Amino acid sequence: MSTRHPIELRDTQGELRRFHRRVVVAGLAVLFGFSLLGLRLHWLQVVRHEDLATQAEANRISVLPIVPNRGLIVDRNGVVLANNYAAHTLEITPNKIKDLEATIDALAELVEITPVHRRRFKRLMADGKRFESLPIRSKLSDEEVARFTAQRFRFPGVDIKARLFRHYPYGELASHVLGYIGRINRNEQAAIEDSEDAANYQGTEYIGKLGVEQRYERELHGLTGFEQVETSASGRPVRRLSASPPTPGQTIRLSIDIKLQALVEQMFGERRGALVAIDPRNGEVLAFVSKPTFDPNLFVDGIDVENWKALNESIDKPLLNRALRGTYPPGSTFKPFMAMAALNTGKRTPGQITMDNGSFVFGNHVFRSHGDHGLGAVDLYRSIVKSSNVYYYQLANDMGVDLMHAQLEPFGFGRKTGIDLQGEVTGVLPSTAWKRATYKRPEHQRWYAGETISLGIGQGYNNFTMLQLAYAMSTLVSGGQRHEPRIVREIEDPVHHRRVSVPGTELPALPLRTEHVAAVLRGLQGVTLEGTATRVFAGATYTSGGKTGTAQAVGIRQNEKYNKARIDEYLRDHSLYTAFAPVEAPQVALAVIVENAGFGAEAAAPIARRVLDYLLTGQYPSEDDLALVREGRVAAPIGTPRQAAEVPLPALGPAPEQSVAGGPTAEAPAASATAGPSPAGASAVDAVPAVPPVAPPASAAASSPARAPLPASRPAAPGPFPTAPASAPRR
């Protein structure tokens, strides 16, 4: 029996329709896909063509900044005080290194990398950015460069670069004037990025920190250049396409004479102090000395911990610019200005007599004078020549503190002089308003009449810088003419060598009567002829005037006498002297202090005499004389003086290649018309914790129960007679 299979009928037409639909859908999908691709291509190739072409070109071409050469700093005679030199550095870009420690270990087999270098590199990496190139070794030798170059293929992200380093040829000489440069820290970087100079500092890693380097940073930096470099896929430069050269920084010409500066620093020796000499005719600073000094070369590539600790913790505070920021009681050098104020206000006439019996009694307090004897009848001339304390005690009492403040503030006391250096302090010229603003407790804000007395002899709350004292003397001897002091004399364009003078701003003259000025200047000249500086200026071939001062570093009890031998060095009196010359047409006014050195005529005045000899007669002290000046054991010059023009320039410091690579970085503080008198023939040579703005340390005053410290930056809580000297300062 046969079985029949049913016949299967296929819907051929239906299958064809479904197939056609599928083909159409697939075709539409493909068309849609190609349409999207076409639109994307149109977007990339047409709409964003220029932008993407620029990006592609940027991937192929790198624009690199070219840091300009930093400008030179020279003295008034063209002697180079700060220049640059090139050296190789081994640098690492951290984000290009997988194992940083292993890479550094491998590099240490080729070049010397000490633990100090490693710590310094980590410090820089913490302060910087990981994609920046950071040096791990500076100032490589030629042999080290050759060894690394031969093995360079092993170290992607490591390279050798040639960089410029700042160099100060004379080392510590004039360091407080020059300042130094150091790596830009985060705060400085933020300030630069917010300024209009941001583009000009691309690629710059160093900036001026103190002194002229800081104040004239913009002029010294120059203009950054740029170069276009074609790079490979790995980012390595292949060839230079174009370049815009940088413009080097301008040359800064100072008003100081480096030979005179060196002479003054040599006369100070190991002693602490400051000296400022100004040309009263135009405000040019002829000498600006702060001792002790420091070597600015230590800071150029990051100062090592040991040197930083030695500088920062030294009891002598070498980082403190004493001429600009050290404040001191002026002692008897204040008396000529008190005399000028007395004449201006009519409180005294030149011939008016005050009886000096050796002491001045106010209430129950006795203000003593020079020892136990008086000077008898004293007029204005004798009050300056013999330095009568009683005369000025009485004068201060008659004037009152506020009148004294009003008369003396225009001379520059208690305010900034406007010198072209940053960091100047105001000092303290007291007044009742000042005391109310200084103290918080009402009973301390009150001004006591007894506090006024000691102000007349430059003690009490009075605290000024040597810059202020020299500026005041310059104003007085010029008859009231005032010029803002200037350290920089000229700025020279390095391309066209054009010089532009930088004169000090001339301020409104003080209304001083000619006969009053003449009366005070006669007294100042008398100091050198028959007064306390007679022995020092014996044999001088020019006329000069001056005033000695001996200022207490700390007070003594009323019944106690000053005994230098029994007092710790840092508690002894300061030696001061102010001077001007020649009397008939002053060309220089100066102020000098030698800390804890005793009488003004013993330590400070001999230094001033030799500065005037140098400036006015071109004479340079003999070696024997210099040795005795450093010890405070000579008055007038001894031996045969030398001609300043024949004395060689100061000895240069170590050459740059002898410098040791920097240790761990430690940030230190951020603590001029007529040519002045200068000896001819000076040849040109080619080439942090903050420091307190107060008087230098007086050791631990508590160690001497008989002496209490006087006020410095902030006076102690006042009383009826808080600072009146029981035993008056020596003259």
Contact 348, 392 (CB under 8 A): no
Chain centroid, CA 449 distance in Å: 39
Q: Which tokens belong to 36?
A: 């999207």
Reported pTM: 0.81
> pLDDT tens, 299-324?
987 788 889 999 999 999 999 999 99
Nearest of 246, 275, 215, 188 to residue 73 by alpha carbon: 215
Catalytic residue among 138, 175, 332, 474: 332
For the chain, residues with pLDDT lower than 70 are: 1-10, 52-61, 127-132, 231-238, 370-372, 554-568, 657-731
Query: Can you list the alpha helix ranges (DSSP code H) found in 386-424?
Result: 389-399, 401-408
CB burial string 113-144: b at 16+ within 10 A, e below: beebbbebbebbbeebeeeebbbbbbbbeeeb
Helix (H) or strand (E) holding 627: helix 623-631
What integer pLDDT is reported at residue 4 of this predicted model?
Answer: 60
What the chain holds in terms of domains, given with CATH numbers, is 63-250 (3.90.1310.10), 258-286+321-556+567-643 (3.40.710.10)
- CA distances to 383, 407, 520 from 401, rounded to whole Å, are 20, 10, 21
Distance (Å, whole) CA 543 – CA 526: 10
What integer pLDDT is reported at residue 324 of this predicted model?
Answer: 97
What integer pLDDT is reported at residue 175 of this predicted model?
Answer: 97
Taken in order 338, 344, 350, 354, is the CA torsion positive or negative? negative
What integer pLDDT is reported at residue 107 of this predicted model?
Answer: 87
Distance (Å, whole) CA 310 – CA 295: 12
What integer pLDDT is reported at residue 63 of this predicted model?
Answer: 73
Active site residue 332: yes
> pLDDT averaged over the chain?
84
What integer pLDDT is reported at residue 568 of this predicted model?
Answer: 66
Nearest of 447, 454, 328 to residue 389 by alpha carbon: 454
